[in-house]
Amino acid sequence: MTPLQALQQTLAGEHAAVYVYGVLGGRVSSSEQPDLARRLSSAYTVHRGRRDQLTAMVRDAHGDPVAAQTSYEVPTPAVTAAQLGAAARVIEQRCASVYADTVGSTSRGNRQWAIDALLDAAVREMSFGAQPERFPGVAELLG
């Protein structure tokens, strides 16, 4: 995977994350689940910011930023608080995997960006109830 391909793949992941967090944020009750609502809102803001950063990073690499799809599948029914949290965990774990791939396919500033994003995703997934892993973002090492 070239650095540009890695950045494009990460941008595609951010498009999906922004969409899904937008859906999740619309379904959470900020009066009944204020903590969850705040965490979902924070995650939405972070991923929207990363999407914009990646768009610029792709252009810097002389690429044409990949566009968002019109819709994405939400990973769970996303109705109850538990389902909303589970959907957020899936999103963060998918993003962690993409960030780890980007670490391996880039260098310098782009690699540093991906390392920091991976560490953030690893902690963020825990805020949605995930347990610590031995090798976050690296599926073939499991656990």
Partner 1 sequence: MPPPPRPLPGPVTRRATLGGAAALTAVAVAGCTDDAPRRTVTPPPTRRAGTDPDVLLAATVLADERAMLERVKQTTRRHPTLKADLAGARAAHRAHVRLLARAVPKQTASPSPSTSTSGTPSARPSPGVPAKPGPALAALARAEDRLSHVGRRSAFAARSGAFARVLASMAAAATQQAAQLSAAAQDRA
Binding site for partner 1 (CB under 8 A): 1-3, 96, 100-101, 103-108, 111-112, 114-116, 118-119, 121-123, 126, 131-138, 140-143
| Least distance (Å) between residue 127 CB and partner 1 | 8
Integer CA distances (angstroms), 96 to 32, 59, 80, in order: 29, 23, 24
Min separation Cβ 48 and partner 1, Å: 22
- Nearest CB to partner 1, comparing residues 19 and 99: 99
* Cβ nearer to partner 1, comparing 37 with 95: 95
Please identify, using beta-carbon distances, which residue of 85 and 136 lies nearer to partner 1.
136
Pair 54, 11: CB distance under 8 Å = yes
Q: Which of 98, 91, 132, 130 is nearest to 114 (CA)?
A: 98
Nearest CA to 128 out of 35, 46, 51, 47 is that of 35
